Amino acid sequence: MWGTKRFFVLPAAVWFLFSFVFAEREIKSICLEEILSIGGLEKDVIFAWSDLATDPQGNIYILDFMDYSMKKFDDKGTLLLKKGRMGQGPGEFISPRLIRFFEGRVYVSDLYKPGIQVFDTDLNYLEKIPLALPVVDLEITDPGRFIISSPSAPSPSGLMTVGRKGLLKTPSKRMKEGEAYWSSFTKFARDKQKNIYLQYTFADRIEKFNKDNTKMWSASLLGNIKAEFEDSTAKGGPSKLPQNVVFKNITLDRFGYVFILGGHLSRHRSRDIYVLDPSSGKRIFTFTLPFPSHTITFDQKNHLYSAADEGTCVKKYALTYRFKEKSGKSRDNKTA
């Protein structure tokens, strides 16, 4: 079920102040070492996964939206548990989309079921937090507080904070329309200093906000391109529908650097990952995944996870950052 493969990725830029440990070194390349592969087109382990989360023990929790289920694997890729079925009841799913692990609890959102379902680590249903709006992204900041991204949120960024009691009605007095609605489709990552890095799904824009909600920087990675929109009113749909995705996901590595997965408009569709300096938003370099993916995420040991085989497979990589010292000698730093 798992093996080891190596992929060397050359950066577009060579100067990267990683941390005080990596300061004043020149990056030569990054090596992605495949250390785990779960599922695949010829296996019936995963049918199409939408999201995953990990716990401190290295267990992997996967949402399989084609199977209407949650699946828990150990760090070797062995299936430990599978629960869930199609339905509207507790512990059931219509189209599960987001999964998060926080302090011994698993949180799941569903595209067509309002609210967030909460489970224990054995995937037993515990409760539901009501939310009367769609959720594009989610982070649990403490057991009673959530940050969500939703196009129905009143802010242009789509971000809002929700307590454990949830939200029983949409806060916006007026629904956003057309491109204004889609511009609030954002994903985000949050660092240890509570800064938020915001990725716009249908626009070439990445932004950083501090804990006081002050914008620190805004960056464009692809020449300010935008997703294409099509007028769908003749077909009875909304006024405009996006035809492609600029960015697919944003995450932070263990050192706080920003990793962004490009979408349909990147040179290597759904494979290019842009790495940004968190202090300035400057693109440090770009590398390319071996396989197209709909998302990327890191675990606590700095392993990188992505998809393969049309979403039927999870790939797990260890990252080795290769630097050139001032002396001219090369040194590898394996971060996981």
Q: Residue 334 pLDDT > 70, yes or no? A: no
Residue bearing the bigger pLDDT, 7 or 328: 328
- The per-residue pLDDT for range 259-286, each reduced to its tens digit, is 999 999 999 999 999 999 999 999 988 9
Q: Are strands 113-119 and 105-110 parallel, antiparallel or unpaired?
A: antiparallel
Per-residue model confidence as pLDDT tens digits over 222-263: 998 888 888 766 665 556 788 899 999 999 998 899 999 999
So what's the pLDDT on residue 26? 52
**What's the pLDDT at 230?**
83
Q: What is the pLDDT of residue 336?
A: 56
Beta strand 26-39 with 5-9: parallel, antiparallel or unpaired? antiparallel
Asked if 11 contacts 279 with a C-beta cutoff of 8 angstroms, the reply is no
The pLDDT tens digits of the residues spanning 22-76 come to: 444 555 667 899 999 999 999 999 999 999 999 999 999 999 999 999 999 999 9
Residue 118 · residue 128 · CB < 8 Å: yes
The yes-or-no verdict on residue 19 having pLDDT over 60 is no
The strand pair at 113-119 and 125-129 is best described as antiparallel
Which is more confidently placed, 304 or 20?
Answer: 304
What CATH class is the domain 5-324?
Answer: mainly beta
Mean pLDDT, all residues of the chain? 86
Torsional sign, CA 300, 146, 205, 110: positive
Please tell me the predicted confidence (pLDDT) of residue 93.
Answer: 97
Q: In this predicted structure, what is the pLDDT of residue 183?
A: 80
- What pTM was computed for the model? 0.87
- pLDDT of 279-311, one tens digit each? 999 998 899 999 999 999 999 999 999 999 999
Q: Which residues pair with 158 in a beta bridge?
A: none
